């Protein structure tokens, strides 16, 4: 395999960021896209090839953002879709790829797919439903 055929991620430096606790730009106690954007030059100076962002989608945060309630948006604590797009563009200008930690098989009980499945709608078979044991634990 020629060196140009090597996948970009082999040997790449990947920096994982949990947005909620990374950098708070507006003093509300939550990290946000603007806070990360403000640290981007420093991160680039470390020789980072990619940022791995822990879930950024809306979530009730019962599972620290891994319980996604809407895959089409971003959590309002972190900013807007426009701010996310600006962050993405700024990363790409610096040659930094962005990896999103997508948890497609782990939705919130507030997600429309879950609600439809619970109601035995068109997505009724998208989740595994089982009665609990007599002691209340999972089967």
Dist. CA 21–CA 2, nearest whole Å: 41
Whether residue 1 has pLDDT greater than 70:
no
Helices (H), the chain: 19-22, 33-45, 81-93, 112-118
Supply the pLDDT for residue 3: 62
Distance in angstroms (rounded) separating the CA atoms of residues 83 and 67: 22
Q: In the structure encoding, which two tokens stand for residue 56, read together? A: 């950024």
Residue 139 pLDDT greater than 80, yes or no = no
Counting every residue written for the chain, the total comes to: 139
Give me the residues paired with residue 15 across strands.
Answer: 51
Residue 2: the pLDDT is 62
Report percent pLDDT > 90 for the chain: 71
Contact call for residues 69 and 107 (beta carbons, < 8 A): yes
pLDDT tens-place string over residues 10-52: 999 999 999 999 999 999 999 999 999 999 999 999 999 999 9
The residues, any chain, with a CB within 8 Å of residue 42's CB and separated by 6 or more, are none
Chain position carrying tokens 């996310």: 84
In the three-class reduction of DSSP (H, G, I as helix; E, B as strand; rest coil), residue 12 is classed as coil
């Amino acid at each position: 395999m020629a060196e140009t055929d090597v996948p970009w991620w082999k040997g790449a430096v990947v920096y994982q960021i949990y947005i909620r606790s990374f950098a708070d730009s507006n003093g509300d106690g939550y990290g946000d896209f603007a806070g990360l954007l403000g640290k981007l030059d420093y991160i680039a100076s470390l020789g980072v090839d990619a940022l791995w962002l822990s879930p950024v989608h809306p979530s009730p945060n019962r599972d620290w953002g891994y319980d996604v309630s809407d895959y089409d948006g971003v959590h309002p604590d972190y900013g807007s879709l426009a701010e996310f797009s600006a962050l993405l563009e700024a990363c790409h200008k610096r040659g930094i790829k962005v990896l999103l930690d997508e948890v497609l098989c782990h939705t919130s009980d507030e997600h429309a797919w879950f609600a439809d499945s619970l109601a035995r709608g068109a997505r009724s078979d998208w989740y595994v439903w089982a009665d609990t044991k007599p002691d209340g634990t999972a089967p």
